[in-house]
Amino acid sequence: MCVVFSCMLFTAASQVNEVYFGAGNLTPVDVTTSDDHQLYSGTFTASGINSVNGAGMPARQMEASRFLAQSTLCYDREMIEDVIDWGVENWIDSQFVIPPSYLLDSLYSIYDQSKAIWIANGNSEESYPFRPNHVHMDYTWWQVSVRAEDQLRQRVAEALSQIIVASLNSDLNGYSYGMGYFYDLLIEHAFGNYQDLLQEVTRSPAMGVYLTYVNNPASDTVEMTFPDENYARECMQLFTIGLDSLNLDGTPALDGMGNRIPTYNNDDIAEFAKIYTGLSYADRIDENDPYWGMGIWSADLTIPLMMYEEYHEQGQKNLLNGFVVPEGQTGIEDIEDAIGHLFDHPNVGPFVCKQLIQRLVKSNPTPAYVEAVASAFNDNGSGVRGDMKAVVKAILLHEEARSCTWVNHPDQGRLREPILKQTQFTGLFEPITPYEGKYWNYSYWFQSGTDMHPMRSFSVFNFYAPSFTPNGPLADEGLVAPEFGIYNSRTSIGYANQVYRWIDSERLLQSSWYEDNYHMPADLSILLEYAKDPDALIDYLDVILTNGQLTDQTREIIRSTLLPYGLSINNLVSKVSLGTYLFLVCPDYNIIK
């Protein structure tokens, strides 16, 4: 555990005390003061007996906050205390048993509510969207995922959504219930098995639309058309094995000449493409029967795709490394075999686990770290392959995620994804004026500023590539930093302007035109008390935002900015606004170590 002893919130009479606390020593030490001195009128005083036993020490709060920044979309002070009280592993176990919060049902009810509000405000039903669209999906994600009790599961689902990508920036745009069904698979299997996830994703209408294999027929040698290869390629390249053969520790396996070894070639893609033929919608949202070749507009996108055998490519398929899918099987059996075959490939553990580490903890895990997590993927300890719970625990409990030595390592670090900064801020300073209990946030402004929002990737390649390296010292050191792939001259200022919106424009969350752009400010009132003493405010924000990583250099800039302000309410508000803005924008916060 980190040993950091930082200044307290009250002034104690100066006295040298030889008993140590921190460094694992939790013996309580009573500290009394010689008078009831107060720096300023308000909550905090130096009066009374305060028992300092380590529980209230910033160090443990910083560590808990840092852990929660790795393992949730957002958290509040209560959750910080829970982590301190129970310890990290117990907290994880407690998260495993919380029932999952799903999106799809809420999506429908949010659509109905929003429509009712629209009509109650005097608008016509005809002028409202016919079906839940991308706006309602935003609302649902913010109402359900961000505020869920099962935060660890939601965070893992969000991480998986950046590996197994489907997006509303596609033909799915007006059909967000398809997206809801898909995202719920990520939520469901975040603590399940990776093979189950792959199998169900392959059968999901959303993925069928996104990677264009709905209504994808077998080869036709007369018309000279061949199966669509989109899913065959991307399922391998992005969802399972990647382009190059990997060692268990994530490093590329090399041949005798020192070259990388490709995992598949174009012929393999063509073979796999035969597998993903014959799938189309299983039902419609009206009374009619589904049929091969039907369009998306009346399709039921919330049940698995169905196999139309007459359009499935017959015959044996020869997949990787001599694996044969025999002739004479049903199309579904073919798919199950093929997905199972990919799942069994030794690349999957390191390929997927390294990316999950990158999403949760750090951009450049050591090979040892990758190997530890990939080993847990390969065998959870009870002979099961693909157990996500084992993977999640291996990632979060590893010393590279937890220990102080690693926190201070120069290679350690990750640029926080834009969305996680908004969700974290929302968790810590949750609006107290939701729209009748609805935290319905429309993502448009945030996306425009930062080029990112869940379920809005511009391509199946996610917002940024796992191997992206920004020009500069990171490239010189051979390190990657994927999140810099969307951080440029526009989005750097764009993100800062989002922070301005949250704080000074009082628009932490904002609905769409359906709800008259109703906006919800962050509730920063708790900071007003701390703001009476700039050091206290900075210390507090250093605990919950920068996890103790605030550099002296940045601290000094913020401090000197806040010092001239006095204690009037306007001045306190200015200090809170400036302080939180500068914290959220400074490099010390944006990079999590």
Partner 1 sequence: MHKLNKYKSRRDFLKLSAMATMGLATPFSSMSRMRAMNSMLPAPPFTGYKAIVCLFLHGGNDSYNMLMPKSGTPYSDYQATRSNLAIDSAEMLGIESDNFGLHPSMSNAQQMYTDNELAYICNAGTLIEPVTKQQYLDGVAPLPLGLFSHLDQFNHWQTALPGTRTNIGWAGKVADLIGDQNGNQFIPMNVSLSGSNIFQYGANSSECSMNSSGPVLPTNWDATWGHNPQRRAALDSMIHRSYDDMYMGTYNSIFRDAVDGGQDFQAALENSYDFATPFSGHYVSQNFEMIAQTISVQSDLDFQRQIFWVRYGGWDHHDELLSDHQNYLSVVDAALGEFNSALKEIGRFNDVTTFVVSEFSRKLTSNGNGTDHAWGGNMMVMGGGVNGGSMYGNYPSLALNSNPQLVHNGTLIPDTASDSVFAELAMWYGIPVSDLISVFPNLGNFHDMMSLSTSNPPLGFMKLL
Please give the residues from 154 up to 193 whose contact with partner 1 meets the rule CB under 8 A.
170
Site membership for partner 1, residue 415 (CB under 8 A): yes
Q: Are 549 and 462 in contact (CB under 8 A)?
A: no
Q: How far apart are CA 356 and CA 325, in angstroms?
A: 31
Q: How far apart are CA 462 and CA 443, in angstroms?
A: 17
Please give the residues from 332 up to 351 whose contact with partner 1 meets the rule CB under 8 A.
none
Site membership for partner 1, residue 486 (CB under 8 A): yes
Residue closer to partner 1 by CB (options 117, 499) is: 499
Using the rule CB under 8 A, give the single segment among 6-14, 365-373, 427-435, 482-490 that binds partner 1: 482-490
Q: Which residue has the tokens 């493409």?
A: 273
Site membership for partner 1, residue 568 (CB under 8 A): no
Please, what is the minimum distance in Å from the beta carbon of residue 355 to partner 1? 17
Element (H, E) at 415: strand 414-415
Q: How far apart are CA 129 and CA 218, in angstroms?
A: 36
Q: How far apart are CA 180 and CA 185, in angstroms?
A: 9
Q: Are 549 and 593 in contact (CB under 8 A)?
A: yes
Please give the residues from 194 up to 253 whose contact with partner 1 meets the rule CB under 8 A.
212, 224, 226, 230
Site membership for partner 1, residue 582 (CB under 8 A): yes
Site membership for partner 1, residue 574 (CB under 8 A): yes
Q: Are 211 and 178 in contact (CB under 8 A)?
A: no
CA angle centred on 366, ends 395 and 403, rounded to 5°: 55
Q: How far apart are CA 461 and CA 109, in angstroms?
A: 31
The rounded Cα 150 to chain-centroid distance in angstroms is 13
Please, what is the minimum distance in Å from the beta carbon of residue 236 to partner 1? 13
Which among 62, 152, 160 has a CA at the least distance from the CA of 396?
152
Using the rule CB under 8 A, give the single segment among 20-28, 331-339, 489-497, 538-546 that binds partner 1: 489-497
Using the rule CB under 8 A, give the single segment among 31-39, 152-160, 183-191, 481-489 that binds partner 1: 481-489
Q: How far apart are CA 409 and CA 389, in angstroms?
A: 28
Site membership for partner 1, residue 478 (CB under 8 A): no
Site membership for partner 1, residue 108 (CB under 8 A): no
Site membership for partner 1, residue 366 (CB under 8 A): no
Please, what is the minimum distance in Å from the beta carbon of residue 141 to partner 1? 22
Please, what is the minimum distance in Å from the beta carbon of residue 489 to partner 1? 4
Residue closer to partner 1 by CB (options 102, 272) is: 272
Using the rule CB under 8 A, give the single segment among 113-121, 181-189, 387-395, 574-582 that binds partner 1: 574-582
Question: Is residue 569 helix, strand or coil?
Answer: helix
**List of residues 6+ apart from 92 with CB closer than 8 A:** 71, 152, 392, 393, 396, 397
**List of residues 6+ apart from 471 with CB closer than 8 A:** none
Residue closer to partner 1 by CB (options 14, 489) is: 489
Site membership for partner 1, residue 459 (CB under 8 A): yes
Residue closer to partner 1 by CB (options 390, 452) is: 452
Site membership for partner 1, residue 521 (CB under 8 A): no
Q: Which two tokens stand for residue 318?
A: 């020869």
CA angle centred on 259, ends 258 and 263, rounded to 5°: 135
Using the rule CB under 8 A, give the single segment among 77-85, 123-131, 424-432, 549-557 that binds partner 1: 549-557
User: Helices (H) and strands (E) in the chain — how many of each?
Assistant: 26, 10
Interface residue list for partner 1 (CB under 8 A):
170, 212, 224, 226, 230, 363, 410, 413-415, 451, 459, 461, 465, 470-477, 479, 481, 484-494, 496-497, 500-501, 504, 551, 553-554, 557-558, 561, 574, 577-578, 581-582, 585-588, 590-591
